[in-house]
Amino acid sequence: MAVTVLIPTTLRGFAQQHSEVEVPAGTAAEVLAAVAEKYPDIREAVFADDGTLREFVHVFVGDRSIQELQGFATPVPDGAEVMLIPTIAGGSGVHAPLIPENREKLSNDEISRYSRHLLLKEVGVAGQRRLKAAKVLIVGLGGLGAPLAQYLAAAGVGTLGLVDFDEVELSNLQRQVIHRTRDIGRPKVASAKEAIRGINPQVKVNTYDYPLTADNALDILGEYDIIVDATDNYPARYLINDACVLLGKPDVFAAMFQFEGQVTVFYGKEGPCYRCVYPSPPPPGLVPSCSQGGVMGVLPGILGTIQAGEVIKLIVGGGRPLIGRMLVIDAWNMKFRELKLPHNPDCPISGTHPSIHELETYDYQDFCGLKKQEEESVEAIAAKELKQRLDAGEHITLVDVREPHERAIIKFPKAKVIPIGQLARRQDELDPSRVTVFICKEGKRSILAIRTLREAGYHGPMFNLKDGINSWARDVDASMPQY
């Protein structure tokens, strides 16, 4: 008798890159223990020091979380599937429209433009008027925000707010289809606004080319009917969630990594919020970003258009939005799964007795462990200094913590290869009497590598190559590509 445990891409580095594993049937605790025995590195990633499951990981048996069942005592029968769902980031019936019907008459041009909507009885004239009256805020104009802005503009959403303080880079163009090559170096909000004007000049566009913070979130989000989370970092996700709960607004959420994605609608009035599902974020660096681990270019297009569909349903009413449900997508194997998300009555912001009542006094950087990360300093070495010390004959051990497929892009000369998930158990391969410099793409995973070894008891001198192998390509060896 056996069950199949599905391992998401964010945790496969701790499971020898396997996507699934068969273990004996039993209780949820026994199944997880069998996985940890088979892949010892995954234990530290999934379990806290006291043996409890980390709060950023959910375990599902079938489509239900073990939190809704019997916890670790939940029986897992022969042939069942168990899913580990980390954050990256009952259902609802027919939903009433969020936007009151707008009696303003549609112009002849609007009737022609939106005729395919008007032919749908579920949308019709009343629904199109609601779309015209609606105000939607998109936070993030990257891979998710790009299709969102385009499709919502094409659908006739009357006002779109765009929040992003980044500029367009060459590496964005693989998936952020609202931007063009000529836009490299331009603010993303400016590029997106121009593209929206080209799609539908009748849409009003408000731009915010500065970060969303605890000080300004309520003021900005308060001007809109629906908020769409298209961000890529945990402080922003928790901030958006909390502001939406306090304002009573829906948070249309998506997250992605490599080939996998998640989409849901967090709406504290009617179902769970983000904190209900993920009470706390993972330790900094444990779950890589797309810039570190990559993403299939079309995946954010799939997720972003699903988000756009959820927004439209919420505006016009009807349909069954993803409130209390999460759609999990594996684009590589083309599998869609739906999971039920319960509301947590003990949630600190949407629960029965909330403890979070305002944003200004809440430190999101500290909550996500980023301030602690700054305080636990890791010594860095610049690429030029490392080159000088190597040329002078200094005995330095170089350790490349990237995965094999990433090293195929470019190899770092004379570096020892130890993937980050194997460091703790392979520390005996390092000489604590010698300086060791850790190398990754951007200098972020190498910081996590040093912290991992410190926690495992390694005491040798360790340095992080500042800004990673890309800095070496930029400042030392121009023949190497930056990626």
DSSP 8-state assignment for residue 258? B
Strand partners, 250: none
| Residue 19 CB contacts under 8 Å (≥ 6 apart), including other chains | 6, 7, 9, 12
Q: Which structure tokens are listed for 175?
A: 């998936």
DSSP per position, 400-449: E-S-HHHHTT-PPTT-EE--GGGTGGGGGGS-TTSEEEEE-SSSSHHHHH
Q: How far apart are CA 147 and CA 307, in angstroms?
A: 9
Q: How far apart are CA 282 and CA 84, in angstroms?
A: 14
Unique residue bearing structure tokens 């800004």: 467
Strand partners, 141: none
**Residue 203, CA atoms < 13 Å, CB-side half-sphere:** 31
Catalytic residue at 290?
yes
Among residues 244, 273, 276, 290, the one annotated as catalytic is 290
Q: How far apart are CA 143 and CA 385, in angstroms?
A: 36
Q: How far apart are CA 3 and CA 225, in angstroms?
A: 44
Q: Give the three-state DSSP class for 360.
A: coil
Q: Give the three-state DSSP class for 116.
A: helix
| Residue 115 CB contacts under 8 Å (≥ 6 apart), including other chains | none
Burial of 230 (C-beta count, 10 Å sphere; 0-12/13-18/19+):
buried
Q: Which structure tokens are listed for 91?
A: 């259902």
Q: State the first-to-last Cα distance of the chain, in angstroms, to the nearest integer.
A: 45
297-336 exposure pattern, b = at least 16 Cβ within 10 A, e = fewer: eebbbbbbbbbbbbbbbbbbbeeebbbbbbbbbbbeeeee
Among residues 273, 276, 347, 440, the one annotated as catalytic is 440
Catalytic residue at 440?
yes
Instruction: Give the residue numbers annotated as catalytic, written as ranges.
Output: 290, 440
